[in-house]
Structure 1
Amino acid sequence: MGSSEKEIPQDLQLEQQLQSQGIKTERDGEGKLHTAAGHGNLATDENGNPLVTFDPVAVRKLRWKLDLYTVPTVSFLYLFCFIDRANIGNARLAGLEKDLNLQGFDYNMILSIFYISYIIFEIPASVCCKWMGPGWFLPLTSLLFGIVSVATAFTHSRAAICGVRFLLGIFEAARRATFRLSLYMVMAPLAGAFGGLLASAILTLDNFGSLHAWRMIFAIEGIITIGLSLISFVTLTDRPETARWLTAEEKELCIARVKSERIGATEVIDGIDRKKIWSGITNPVTLEIAAIFLFNNITVQGLAFFLPTIVRSIYPEFTVVQQQLYSVPPYAVGAFFVLAYPALSWYLDRRQVLIALTSPSSHRALRRHLLIASSTMVLGPMSNAQISANVVSDTARSSAIGFNVMMGNIGGLASTWSYISWDGPDYHIGNGLNLAAASAILIIATLAWLWMKRDNKRRDGRNAEEELAGMSPAEIADLDWKHPGFRWRT
């Protein structure tokens, strides 16, 4: 049991109130009262209001330290893992199809193989991450991801590249399971932009060892991923208690701060529990966001895999390097909006309405420098942020985000067949599918927002104290979003 960093005035009535809510207290040598933030204790009342206050300066210092140790490593891992996933589009321009003798729909089939394994293993990977701990799970799976990417450089047949893409999907599912913060998602569009630049630079080389042309792309980018994964073994951690770079006081503050935002929660990182896993998946917000993310990925993943091909069909007279470079601008625009939208969301403390507003993109924007990326890319961070805000336990959050990503990759699977070579350069099928997906997002997000507002009003009429009477802290924690004091965060 540890104590939070914020002193509470010596007040017997307050002490009794905290103890009645299951919050243990203790006094230091000077008789000053502190709240205990250890295992099994609540940090909110029955209506979800925090029972403790925090020194804002200490919280800012803690947040900065957490960001310093985790955000750079995880962001760059995400960047290069996304590059390793999507660089097949760059490799296609550099002769992949010719060298592997791919015909007809072979390229689309290779893309589909990746998503089949990704979809199958996404939720099991989330559970495995809970069991192993993200501090080991993320570096290990990223290492394996990089190794498989390098192996792609040595494939010489359609069957071989299908095999490595299937393995890549498994490790991508595992790696993605631990990404919780929307800030990391800016690396997706940056990966598209940087991937084009990096591919262009790599293709100016005569060779990389015995490798040439498109094989160099997979090898060099995979090696970078391997190096970053080795660094992450040192910088990442499973939970506050195991963070070697946090002081005891910072660990206590981190635990108390997280629990104060989760109604009925008695643990920051809880154990694997089937009930909580199911609660996260069946959460109404999880279901509607997952449906939105499915439609969104039809566009986003379509861009990731086919953008270089679309650029080639528009500018066939350009060199391969020039075509690679022309795939950069849309992703640069997307990266800006991936930062701008969450920033606006944080300022307004609203997400659902902003999610709905991402949908009215012109499906013809692909022809006009592909500015569709300005809105489609933002749903990666926005969707996971909205889900995280509307679940309580860590296990429910893991399963909910895992389900969201799985559904998104069903959309990704559909996207592998949205741009067919004979449909270029206007790509009526792909662009029409994007327009339909955007319309579905607008309808689902708007209806969900109206429902959330209505359900919150209904919950306002419930008596949380009466409904929770006689329930143990463990039973209350299991309620998650069904807790009478819980309110949907729109």
Structure 2
Amino acid sequence: MSSPANTEKPTLVAVKGEGPVEEKQNASSVVSDDSFANPTGINEKALVRKLDRRLLPPLTLLYLLSFLDRSNIGNAKLDGLTTDLHITGNQYLMTLTIYFIGYVLFEVPCNIILKRTTPKLWLPTLMFLWGTVATLMGVSQNFAGFLAARFFLGVTESGLFPGVVFYLSMWYKRTETHYRVALFFSAASLAGAFGGILAYGIGFMVGVGGLKGWRWIFILEGLLTVIISVIAYFFIHNYPATAPFLRDDERAFIHARLKDDSDATNTEEFAWTNVFSAFKDYKCYLYGLGFHTMSLPLYTLSLFLPTIIAKLGYTAAQAQLLTVPPYAVATILTVIVAVLAEKTQRRAPFLIGSSSLAIIGYIILLTAPSKKPGVSYFGTILAAAGIYPSCAIVLSWPTANVSGQSKRATATAMTITVGNLGAVIGTQLYRPNTSPRWYLGHSFALGYLVANILVAVTLWVCLTRENAKKRARVAGGEVVDGPIKDDEDIRLLFQT
């Protein structure tokens, strides 16, 4: 869409070996990673580090607690959840599925509400609501009550991740978003590691207050979320124009550096036409398909890993602790891949490489001798190490490519909505009668990872062709007068 805040006439120029970018006729106004017309003497890198310090830790904490509250059911199962509530194997799978049904149904509406309200109000409110629901799971007395709690946990958590991904796109340049989204998403793997440690410790609270250990897992972790949500109203900020930790010259600097890079500084009134434009863009569906092919292995691993490890022959307590190393390795690799992708300004090659690593992990799980549990355990480490970096890439892709604030918010929610349909399927695959080899679940995860590579290659080809068309237009001497109407097509340089 056109940018009402930008009335200068841009000229398209070719960048050798890369693709077209937008260059203003007034060269002094161009913001790059290396230079900036900056009479105030503000250090751009230092300012970006300041943003990282103020924005990323609280947002990462929110997502860590979110992922902990959704995945701790796997730890609670080992501590007697299904036995005490008389939940059968298939009923347990339904409690996993119902969460994602609520999540999928409310992702797009939640991001629309975010756009129409403010992050400072909406994100902590969501957190307070899901923390309350998570706590209530610990006092459920039967299958029906627990099932209802899981559904509303999905509803209340649905707005966090797509909301934060959109929120970060309003602070950082497109070339900077993947690294920040990856750091934020690394909280998912950290949650897995902390979840195992916490579950191991909380397991010793059996009988405290007359409650079983699995109940304390939900109650304590849910109450922690509620407490942090109240504090979050004070440390979550809106957008650069009103952030209290920035000086006026810093706000102006951020506005200027984003102005040449994206539409984040535009004043865009909400309009349904901008929402619908996301549904008409084929690339938005490819982004969604990219996450769809990752969400099934992501959530089947995070929800069933304690059970998978326990079925290798380890005790429940040992299995809780053995979930930590796979997630620790995944966290480290997620950050490393994010740094490399940001430096090379490429996504597809790293996505293909990470997914290939996860494929090796599942091949090991499917073929390892049953008498060698250590080999299968090594497969879980490789699976986690490949899945989490890939998820960070596919989730950050639309934030860098889709123009228009409402369209980008919708496209981000679409990506996660379409993606989590894979999770809905995945929750039904690790059925009790397939234990302990789990051929059905592991095979589906393997097939989805192969499909993810195919989607990545398709996106890579499509975006490269669009870049080539833009380079051809520039080589032909084309000059675009007035505001760029579809700058997502102009700005394909960093998409692949």
Q: Under TM normalisation by the shorter chain, which class is it?
A: 0.7 to 0.9
- Look up the match of 1:339: 335
- Look up the match of 2:371: none
Determine whether 1:122 maps to 2:96: no
CA distance in 2, matches of 1:44, 1:348: 29
CA distance in 2, matches of 1:101, 1:147: 24
CA distance in 2, matches of 1:107, 1:219: 19
Q: Residues 44 and 191 (structure 1 numbering): CA distance in 2 closer, same or farther, change over 3 Å?
A: farther
Shift of 1:162: 0.9
Check the 8 A contact 1:239/1:269 in 2, yes or no: no
TM-score calculated relative to the size of structure 2: 0.84
- Look up the match of 1:12: none
Check the 8 A contact 1:136/1:237 in 2, yes or no: no
Query: Quick one: which of 380, 394, 402 aligns to 1:383?
Result: 394
CA distance in 2, matches of 1:125, 1:422: 38
Identity percentage of aligned residues = 28
- Look up the match of 2:205: 205
Cα displacement string for residues 322-370 of structure 1 (whole angstroms, at most 9, x for unaligned residues): 2211111111111111111111101111002211222222213442330
Q: Secondary structure at the match of 1:49?
A: strand
Check the 8 A contact 2:401/2:491 in 1, yes or no: no
Q: Residues 443 and 195 (structure 1 numbering): CA distance in 2 closer, same or farther, change over 3 Å?
A: same
Determine whether 1:364 maps to 2:363: yes
- Look up the match of 1:185: 185
Cα displacement string for residues 55-76 of structure 1 (whole angstroms, at most 9, x for unaligned residues): 5852223212222222111111
CA distance in 1, matches of 2:393, 2:336: 11
CA RMSD between the two structures: 2.4
CA distance in 1, matches of 2:492, 2:343: 22
Check the 8 A contact 2:5/2:266 in 1, yes or no: no
Determine whether 1:415 maps to 2:426: yes
Q: Residues 385 and 143 (structure 1 numbering): CA distance in 2 closer, same or farther, change over 3 Å?
A: same
Check the 8 A contact 2:86/2:142 in 1, yes or no: yes
Shift of 1:89: 0.4
Q: Is there any run of 5+ residues in structure 2 with no aligned partner, and where? A: 13-21, 166-179, 366-375
Amino acid at match of 2:377: R
Check the 8 A contact 1:90/1:324 in 2, yes or no: yes
Determine whether 1:350 maps to 2:346: yes
TM-score calculated relative to the size of structure 1: 0.85
CA distance in 1, matches of 2:186, 2:158: 18
Q: Residues 276 and 216 (structure 1 numbering): CA distance in 2 closer, same or farther, change over 3 Å?
A: same
Check the 8 A contact 1:297/1:412 in 2, yes or no: yes
Between Structure 1 and Structure 2, the one with more helix by share is 2
Q: Residues 43 and 298 (structure 1 numbering): CA distance in 2 closer, same or farther, change over 3 Å?
A: farther
Query: Quick one: which of 433, 440, 447 aligns to 1:429?
Result: 440
Amino acid at match of 1:347: K
More off after superposition, 148-157 vs 327-336: 327-336
Amino acid at match of 1:205: M
Query: Quick one: which of 32, 48, 52 aligns to 2:30?
Result: 52
Q: Residues 266 and 82 (structure 1 numbering): CA distance in 2 closer, same or farther, change over 3 Å?
A: closer
Taking the TM superposition and a 5 Å limit, the aligned residue runs for 1:171-320 are 171-180=156-165, 181-182=180-181, 183-207=183-207, 209-262=209-262, 265=263, 267-268=265-266, 270-316=268-314, 318=315, 320=316
Determine whether 1:155 maps to 2:155: no
Q: Is there any run of 5+ residues in structure 1 with no aligned partner, and where? A: 1-21, 24-38
Q: Secondary structure at the match of 2:377?
A: coil
Q: Residues 299 and 231 (structure 1 numbering): CA distance in 2 closer, same or farther, change over 3 Å?
A: same
Q: Secondary structure at the match of 1:240?
A: coil
CA distance in 2, matches of 1:204, 1:230: 29
Amino acid at match of 2:399: S
Amino acid at match of 2:203: L
CA distance in 2, matches of 1:44, 1:208: 69
Q: Secondary structure at the match of 2:23?
A: coil
Equivalent pairs, count: 444
Q: Residues 465 and 148 (structure 1 numbering): CA distance in 2 closer, same or farther, change over 3 Å?
A: farther
More off after superposition, 373-382 vs 362-371: 362-371
Query: Quick one: which of 118, 142, 148 aligns to 1:133?
Result: 118
Q: Residues 165 and 427 (structure 1 numbering): CA distance in 2 closer, same or farther, change over 3 Å?
A: same
CA distance in 1, matches of 2:264, 2:445: 43
CA distance in 2, matches of 1:209, 1:233: 32
Q: Residues 372 and 176 (structure 1 numbering): CA distance in 2 closer, same or farther, change over 3 Å?
A: same
Check the 8 A contact 1:130/1:271 in 2, yes or no: no
Check the 8 A contact 1:189/1:332 in 2, yes or no: yes
